[in-house]
Amino acid sequence: MRLIRLEEETPEDWWEVEALYDLCFAPGREALSSYRFRDGVAPVRDLCLVARDETGGVAAVIRYWPVRIAGVAALLLGPVAVHPTRHGEGLGALLMMESLSLATTLGWARVMLVGDEPYYRRFGFRRLDEVRMPPPTNPARVLGLELQPGAWRGIAGPVEKADHA
């Protein structure tokens, strides 16, 4: 892997980060159900990371958003994006591990995402059968990770928009 520098995303990074998301995801990504929880809500800045290469260019990014399930706080991870020229270098895994470690240090108890279980299982994510995202989300893609033991135990219901972190 070439030299990579991880930094907290700043407001000045917004255009570069959004351009990478546009490059990596299909048009209309904002129509996905997970975006309903991001609209008008500030991301959890301490956990939004940018991986920059030796030229200072954005090679990969990760964002987190606060949500609630049955009144209990959780993190909604995503999106994660890696520039197509950097695939296979482990940047997505690096961002996942660093940000999850940071979330634990900051006292967060639980993280959820919508994604492919075979990929995210290696980070400890498992299906959240009792947590519901709005349609058209496939329930099999709603995954969670406990940052504190038992953090998902007894948590059930629809995901709700948080006012703040």
- As its CATH architecture, domain 4-161 has 3-Layer(aba) Sandwich (3.40)
Residue 33 has pLDDT above 70, yes or no: no
Residue 4 has pLDDT above 70, yes or no: yes
- pLDDT grade for 41, boundaries at 50, 70 and 90: confident
Give percent of the chain with pLDDT exceeding 70. 92
Amino acid at 140: A
Residue 2 has pLDDT above 70, yes or no: no
Residue 86 has pLDDT above 90, yes or no: yes
Q: Is the pTM of this model over 0.85?
A: yes
Cα–Cα distance for residue pair 128/11, rounded to 1 Å: 32
Write out pLDDT tens, residues 99-152.
Answer: 999 999 999 999 999 999 999 999 999 999 999 998 888 999 999 999 999 999
Asked whether the CA dihedral 164, 144, 152, 33 is positive or negative, the reply is positive
- pLDDT grade for 31, boundaries at 50, 70 and 90: low
Cα–Cα distance for residue pair 26/41, rounded to 1 Å: 23
